[in-house]
Amino acid sequence: MSAPKSVVTGGCGFIGSHMVDLLLADGHEVVVVDDLSTGREDNLAHHKGGPGLRIVRADVADGERMATEFAGAEWVFHFAALGDIVPSIERPTAYIRAGVMGTLGALEGARAAGVQRFVYSASSSCYGIPDQYPTPETAPIRTEYPYSLSKHLGEQLVLHWARVYRLPVVSLRYFNVYGPRSRTSGAYGAVFGVFLAQKLRGHPFTVVGDGTQSRDFVFVTDVARANLLAARSTVRGEVFNVGTGRPQTVNRLVELLGGQGVLHVPKRPGEPDRTEADIGKIRAALGWEPAVSFERGVGTVLENIDYWRDAPLWTVEKIEAATREWFRRLA
């Protein structure tokens, strides 16, 4: 009996590469589709020469090409996107294209191939600054920036294809994902990568505001496992939060990372003081629970700190300049 085939778009990226790890360990043949605009083949270098993995460099927005690459696949995991807030303000067209046309190409490829499951990577940034904590999937949508808009429009496409074309889809709204291979680009939203690059070079951690703001940090392998459970389930056309429901402050992160002091930078407008997922729905429907504690997760990140040795360094001067630009654009 041949191994089941799965496709991972954006599989050379942070979360996507961990999804590839999990699928290969589960005995799948995996096709990765990535244009390498943000992903790195090095994230999958540990699988080089091994069986079951094929990497295709292509634009996921090309629906006809995706139909060919997806042929014979049972599952599609759609991670391909552009991340981070500030670049989305500077380049909204690129973000909307990636989030909307990229998702459209993946959906049409999946529809043509007759896949059994399509799992979409959505974002909790769609909630903006919510009124309710923990925040349920029914919370009002408040897309503050082109990044969050692009992810939410992609989710709307996915749910529309479920209704109109009966495509078996699930959408997962990630909270603050962290772990080995996390990205380092951008002053906002990549706090682990920024802090680790600073730690390696002996620079102080640049903490936004007073550091008491909290985030629902969820470890990347738990996110990959949520995707696998969604694919194995019979649930269709549903949206689920993926977080821990146990937010941690930035000051706690600094404490666990250890280091060489802190420099505070101004708080930005439109950012929540807290993110906290209500995970009751995914727990009940898929039986998913986060397995990695924050302390253990940060420890694992520190064990892999050499990954960030060549990462761009965000100095306080660079972050303050980006913050000034943030305020200017939003004025």
Query: Which residues have a catalytic role annotated?
Result: 147
What's at 140, amino acid-wise?
Answer: P
Q: State both tokens at 290.
A: 């986060």
Report the alpha-carbon distance of residue 147 to residue 140 in Å, rounded: 17
> Is 276 exposed, middle or buried (CB count within 10 Å of its CB: 0-12, 13-18, 19+)?
buried
DSSP state of 188: S
> Is 46 exposed, middle or buried (CB count within 10 Å of its CB: 0-12, 13-18, 19+)?
exposed
Those residues whose C-beta lies under 8 Å from the C-beta of residue 329, and which sit 6 or more positions away, are: 89, 90
- At 60 the three-state DSSP class reads coil
Report the alpha-carbon distance of residue 325 to residue 139 in Å, rounded: 30
Contact 177, 13 (CB under 8 A): no
- At 137 the three-state DSSP class reads coil
Q: What is the dihedral of CA 228, 230, 233, 235, to 10 degrees?
A: -170
Report the alpha-carbon distance of residue 70 to residue 92 in Å, rounded: 29
Q: State both tokens at 171.
A: 């959408």
Contact 152, 123 (CB under 8 A): yes
DSSP state of 57: E
Chain centroid, CA 40 distance in Å: 15
Q: State both tokens at 55.
A: 């990497």
Report the alpha-carbon distance of residue 228 to residue 165 in Å, rounded: 23
